[in-house]
Amino acid sequence: MSPLDNLDALGQRLAQMPRLPLAHLPTPLEPMDRLSAEIGGPRLWIKRDDCTGLSTGGNKARKLEFLMAEAVAHKADIVLTHGATQSNHARQTAAAAARLGLECHILLEDRTGFREAEYTDNGNVMLDRLHGATVEVRETGLDMNAELDVLAARLAAEGRTPYVIPGGGSNAIGALGYVNAVAELHAQARAMDLRIDHLVHATGSAGTQAGLAVGLAALGRPFPLLGIGVRAPQPRQEANVHALAVATAERLDLGCSVERADIVANCDYLGEGYGLPTPEAIAAIRLLAQTEGILLDPVYSAKGMAGLLDLCRNGTFTAGQNIVFLHTGGAAALFGYIRHFN
């Protein structure tokens, strides 16, 4: 099969994959002119995947369109997933399950050790419960996918039909959501006559970047992609993303490969670890709130934005370029991190 090098062919291939309409698409692509003026350098744009519409929005909605189609095809009556305490993925999975009339059981891993009630019960945790999900907490350091398998076996023994969604919805099905997102963004930029010089976003469980990388490879690599790591060190993050990208390209049977060199993650903005806000991330949240009226989150998008802003200030990205930030959502977590804003 020859490489797919145009949008129509990619769109046709994606249209053959089982999918349920759960997200508000296309999400807007907007300039951030007050922020750009403040920073001085490239023109900054934002792809508003915080506006996907499912329980306050975020990037998991695109993945869940494909994952929940699989759950329904498997005749599941309950979906299981896991995440960190303030997981956006858990919240959007709970919402998608509610929308489809499925039960949802979530395992939350205590990765930060934060004890305040805002963190353990407000923000995303409050919304998980509001959507009717069963929530169980696990100490950190366990193999959470194995914990899910144990839970799935128990439910199956009780006569239930569970469908297991991995952490972050990051497998070769969920990543299809971001193959689709690249097709959407490319078409939008074309219609606006916008030349994109770089696409930047926060990368964690790898599905977003893997899907984006597959879509870009299929389109002939129209612009480079940079993930800002929020969890693993760079070598492991890039390896995770690459492995998932290869699996996703295979699943789509695209006839194009994702090279190891296509995957670039910068993990210099992680700070002390996953879910632990850095001063630069908190400053980025304030800056976006006060220049653009846009809400970032302390775990993902603010670290991504802190990285982007640093790369503008240090001259990596320069005047004359158009840099697009993919806003992956997460603002619901702000209410779990109130003490970091005092």
Binding site for ligand PLP (CB under 6 A): 58-59, 88-89, 168, 170, 202-209, 297, 300-301, 328-330
Whether residue 104 contacts residue 89, with contact meaning beta carbons closer than 8 Å, is answered with: no
Cα–Cα nearest to 334, from 297, 285, 281: 297
End-to-end CA distance of the chain: 57
Burial class, 217, CB count within 10 angstroms (exposed 0-12 / middle 13-18 / buried 19+) = buried
Could you tell me the smallest distance in angstroms from the CB atom of residue 8 to ligand PLP? 26
Told to judge if 2 belongs to the known catalytic residues of this protein, a careful annotator would answer no
Q: Which is nearer to ligand PLP, 208 or 322 (CB)?
A: 208
* Structural tokens at position 247: 């699996």
Which structure tokens are listed for 181? 């997102």
Query: For the purposes of burial, counting CB atoms within 10 Å of the CB of 54, is it exposed (0-12), middle (13-18) or buried (19 or more)?
Result: buried
| Choice between 155 and 164, CB closer to ligand PLP | 164
Minimum CB separation of residue 195 from ligand PLP in Å reads: 25
Distance CA 27, CA 19 (A): 17
Q: Which is nearer to ligand PLP, 195 or 260 (CB)?
A: 260
Per annotation, catalytic residue among 2, 36, 55, 87: 87
- For residue 128, give both structure tokens: 């998980």
- Taking the complex as a whole, how short is the minimal distance between the CB of residue 304 and ligand PLP, in angstroms? 7
The distance of closest approach from Cβ of residue 201 to ligand PLP in the complex, given in angstroms and rounded to an integer, is 7
Nearest approach, Cβ of residue 290 and ligand PLP (Å)? 20
Q: Quick one: how many helices (H) and strands (E) in the chain? A: 12, 10
Please identify, using beta-carbon distances, which residue of 41 and 86 lies nearer to ligand PLP.
86
| Residues forming beta bridges with residue 23, ordered by sequence position | none
Q: Which is nearer to ligand PLP, 205 or 248 (CB)?
A: 205
CA 126, 130, 136, 140 dihedral sign is: negative
Query: Tokens 């994606």 identify what position?
Result: 14
Name the residues annotated as catalytic: 87
